Amino acid sequence: MSNNPSRRKFLQAGLALPAAGLVSSTGLGAALQDSPRVVYRTLGKTGLKVSGVGYGIGFVPVTEVVARALDMGINYFDTSRDYGDSEKIFAGVIKGRDRSKFHIATKSPSRRKEDILKDLDTSLKELGTDYVDIWHLHARDTPAAVPDEAVEAMQMCKQSGKARFVGISCHDPNRMADFLIETRVFDVMQTTYSFPIGGYYRDRAIKKLQDAGIGVIAMKVVVALTGLNLKDLTNPPAREGEGPLAGIKWVLNNPAIGTTVPFMETIPELEMNFRAMSEEFTPADEKLLYVMNEQIRPDYCRMCYECSGACPKGLPVTDMLRYLAYNDFCGKFHQAQANFRGLPREIQDVRCSDCSECAIRCPNGVHVQARLMRAQQLLA
Ligand code: SF4
Ligand code: SF4
C-alpha cells in the first residue's frame, strides 16, 4: 500500500474525524445514518454483537491506529502468531482496557491435538488474556487439513472456556462449507469475500453457512482495491480511498456477513473504512467498483478456484497469485516472499517461462502465465 504514490497522498491528506457515538443494531436498515457510526451485527449462532468493520491485526500493526479503532467502538480484532508479533503488539494496545468491550480472534496453524491445545495456551499468554472469543484453525482449504484429532482439540478448547467459540479460516468456502456444517463443532468461518467475483463464486456457500447459523467473517475485502493508482481510472473517485470504502460497503450489503477484517495502517484509512458501517451502498459505488474491476482484470486473481488442478506441473495457481497480490496490491513484499518460499521446493523451482503455452484459460481474464512469471522472478 504505502509504495503507491497516489495511496500515499491519500494517507497523508487526512479526513474529518467521524462521530464516536455508537448505535447498536443488527439490522441493515438501521445502518443508514447521517454521520459515520458503528453498526453492530450478529455473528451467526455465537450471538456475538460485532462491529461490521472489524480489524485485521496483520504483520506489524500500527498501535495508534488500533487504539483509535477501539476508541471508536470497533470491537472485533483478528490476529495470529502466524503474522509475526501480531498478538504481542495487540496485547500492548489492549492492556488496561475493559476486556468485555471487544472480541479477539486468533489462530492455530497446527493439525495435531496436543499442538493445538498448546498453541491456545501460548496465544493466551501472548495476548495477556485468559480467553479468546474465537479460536480458529488457520488456513484450512480442504477437509483433509482438519483431521479428527484437530476437531477434538477444538472441542476441548471450547469446553475449557479458554475459547468461547471455534472456527476455521479458509480461502475457498465452497470446499469447506459442507464440512463445517456436518462437523457440528465450528461456530464461524473466516473466508475471502470481496467484489465482485467473491460474491458470484461464494454466495451459495455463504448462504448455506448462514442458514446453518455459522457466522461468516469476510477477509481480503479490499486487497484488490487498495493498491491501485486511482489516477489511471477513467472516472476516478472524488476522494481516494473511496474504492476500499465502496468495497466494504458492498460486502456489508450481504446480511450473511457478520464482520470484515481489513488491515488498516493509518488513521485516515481507518476513518474512511469506518464509514462503511453507516453508509448505504449506492449505484455510484457499484459503478466505481466495476470500473476498478476492469482495471485490475488482467492482474488480480479473483480466487474462484476454477483453475484448480489445471496446471500440468502441479502449480497451486490461486495461492501463488494471491502471494503476488500481497506485494503488488498491498506493498507487502516480505509477506509475499515468505508465503512463496513456504511452497514445496519442486513447486518453487517450476518456471512458467519454460512453457510455450499456458494450459490455463482464466474465465476472469487474469493473465496467468505472465503473472506467475512475475511471481517466480520476484519471490523465488
Ligand atoms: S486465475 Fe482465474 S480461474 Fe484461476 S482462481 Fe484466479 S480468477 Fe479463478
Ligand atoms: S505456464 Fe501455465 S501450464 Fe505452464 S507451469 Fe505455468 S501455470 Fe502451469
Q: How far is the CA of 371 from the centre of ligand 2 (A)?
A: 10
Region 58-72 average pLDDT? 93
Would you state the pLDDT for residue 195? 84
In 3D space, the residue among 149, 36, 140, 8 whose CA is nearest the CA of residue 82 turns out to be: 140
Residue of 329 and 232 predicted with greater confidence? 329
Residue matched to cell numbers 496485547: 91
Would you state the pLDDT for residue 243? 86
Domains along the chain with CATH numbers: 5-295 (3.20.20.100), 317-379 (no CATH)
What span, in angstroms and rounded, lies between the C-alpha atoms of 211 and 205?
A: 10
Would you state the pLDDT for residue 31? 44
Instruction: Give the atom of ligand 1 at the shortest distance from the alpha carbon of 304.
Output: 8
| Residue 372 beta carbon below 6 angstroms from any ligand 1 atom | no
Instruction: Give the atom of ligand 2 at the shortest distance from the alpha carbon of 353.
Output: 1
Would you state the pLDDT for residue 288? 87
pLDDT more than 90, % of the chain: 71
Instruction: Give the atom of ligand 2 at the shortest distance from the alpha carbon of 357.
Output: 1
Query: Nearest 5°: phi and psi at 214?
Result: -85, 125
Task: Kindly report, residue by residue over 271-316, the tens digit of the pLDDT.
Answer: 999 999 999 999 999 988 888 888 888 998 988 899 999 999 999 9
Q: In what order do the strands lie in the sheet with 163-170?
A: 55-56, 76-78, 103-108, 132-137, 163-170, 188-192, 215-219, 257-260
| Residue 320 beta carbon below 6 angstroms from any ligand 1 atom | no
| Residue 252 beta carbon below 6 angstroms from any ligand 1 atom | no
Q: How far is the CA of 348 from the centre of ligand 2 (A)?
A: 12
Give per-residue burial for 127-164: e unless 16+ CB within 10 Å, then b: bebebbbbbbbbbbbeeebbeeebbebbbbbbeeebbb
What span, in angstroms and rounded, lies between the C-alpha atoms of 37 and 31?
A: 9
Cell numbers representing residue 84 in the block: 509475526
Does the CA dihedral 300-304-309-310 come out positive or negative? negative
| Residue 362 beta carbon below 6 angstroms from any ligand 1 atom | yes
Q: Are 240 and 293 in contact (CB under 8 A)?
A: no
| Residue 325 beta carbon below 6 angstroms from any ligand 1 atom | no
Instruction: Give the atom of ligand 1 at the shortest distance from the alpha carbon of 303.
Output: 5
Residue 196, preceding peptide bond in cis (omega within 30° of 0): yes
Would you state the pLDDT for residue 233? 55
Per the prediction, the chain carries an average pLDDT of: 88
Ligand located closest to 202 CA: 1
Does residue 238 carry a pLDDT above 60? Answer: no
Task: Kindly report, residue by residue over 317-356, the tens digit of the pLDDT.
Answer: 999 999 998 888 877 898 899 999 999 999 999 999 999 9
| Residue 304 beta carbon below 6 angstroms from any ligand 1 atom | yes
Q: How many CA atoms lie within 13 A of 95 on its CB side?
A: 12
| Ligand 2 atom 7: residue of nearest CA | 311
Does residue 216 carry a pLDDT above 60? Answer: yes
| Residue 296 beta carbon below 6 angstroms from any ligand 1 atom | no
Task: Kindly report, residue by residue over 84-120, the tens digit of the pLDDT.
Answer: 899 999 999 999 999 999 999 999 999 999 999 999 9
The SS3 call for residue 111 is coil
What span, in angstroms and rounded, lies between the C-alpha atoms of 252 and 272?
A: 15
Q: How far is the CA of 361 from the centre of ligand 2 (A)?
A: 10
Cell numbers representing residue 7 in the block: 495511496
| Residue 217 beta carbon below 6 angstroms from any ligand 1 atom | no
Would you state the pLDDT for residue 239? 62
The SS3 call for residue 13 is helix
